[in-house]
Amino acid sequence: MTASFTPAELRNAFALLSSPGLIRLISEIDDNGPIPPRRLAGTLPDLSSHHLRRTTHVARVHGLVRVAPGAGLALTEAGSELADFYDATARWARRHAYPTPVCDFTTRLQHSLSLLATALLADRADGSARPAGEGTPCAEAEAGLAHPRALLVQWLKANPQVTVLLEPEPVA
C-alpha cells in the first residue's frame, strides 16, 4: 500500500501533516475561504508571526496553498483534498471520542495521524497491509478508520512532495 515510500519519507509526511499551524491554516481556508493578505495574523491570532510565516512557506512550497490575486491565500487542489482528509479523520475521531470525549480539532487530528502513522509504518516494515481492525480489541473503531486511511494513502501517492523535509526558509 505504501511500498513506494521509505519509513523516513512517511515520518516526514506525518510530521508535516500533523503540524498544528498547517492543520489550522488548511482547515481555516477550507471552512471560510481565502484569507486576505493582511488578515492572516488576525485569523490565526494564537500563532506567532514566525510560525505563520513558516507555515505559509511550507504550505506554498508543498503545493497546498497559493496566493490568489485579489483574494489572498487559497487552497490548491492538493490543499482541498488534504482538508477533506482532515475532515474525514476528525469525524472518525469524534465518533470514537478519540483521544478523549472532549478535545479540540487539532489535537484530534494529531492523535489520529499518530495512529495512522503507526499502522502505515508497520505495514511498510512487514511488507503487508493488514485489513483494518483485524486482530485488535477495537476492531470496529479501527475499521472505521479505514476510510481516512485510504484517503491518506491516495493523497500521499498523489502528493509525494510532502515526504521531503524542507530546508529552513531563508531569512529575508
Q: Give the pLDDT score at 132.
A: 47
For the cut 70, the answer to whether the pLDDT of residue 71 exceeds it is yes
For the cut 90, the answer to whether the pLDDT of residue 136 exceeds it is no
Q: Which domains does the chain have, with CATH numbers?
A: 7-162 (1.10.10)
Q: pLDDT of 43-66, one tens digit each?
A: 999 999 999 999 999 999 999 999
For the cut 80, the answer to whether the pLDDT of residue 86 exceeds it is yes
Q: Give the pLDDT score at 54.
A: 95
For the cut 70, the answer to whether the pLDDT of residue 83 exceeds it is yes
Q: Give the pLDDT score at 129.
A: 52
Q: Residue 30: which residues within 8 A CB-CB, separation 6 or more?
A: 75, 79, 80, 83, 86, 87
Q: Which of the four pLDDT bands, split at 50, 70 and 90, describes residue 164?
A: confident
d(CA 128, CA 8): 18
**Number of residues that this document lists for the chain:** 172
Range scoring the smallest mean pLDDT among 8-22, 64-78, 104-118, 137-151: 137-151
d(CA 26, CA 75): 7
Global pTM?
A: 0.86
Q: Give the pLDDT score at 138.
A: 57
Q: Give the pLDDT score at 133.
A: 45
Q: Which of the four pLDDT bands, split at 50, 70 and 90, describes residue 121?
A: confident
The answer to whether the bond into 99 is cis (omega within 30° of 0) is: yes
Region 117-126 average pLDDT: 78
Q: Give the pLDDT score at 3.
A: 56
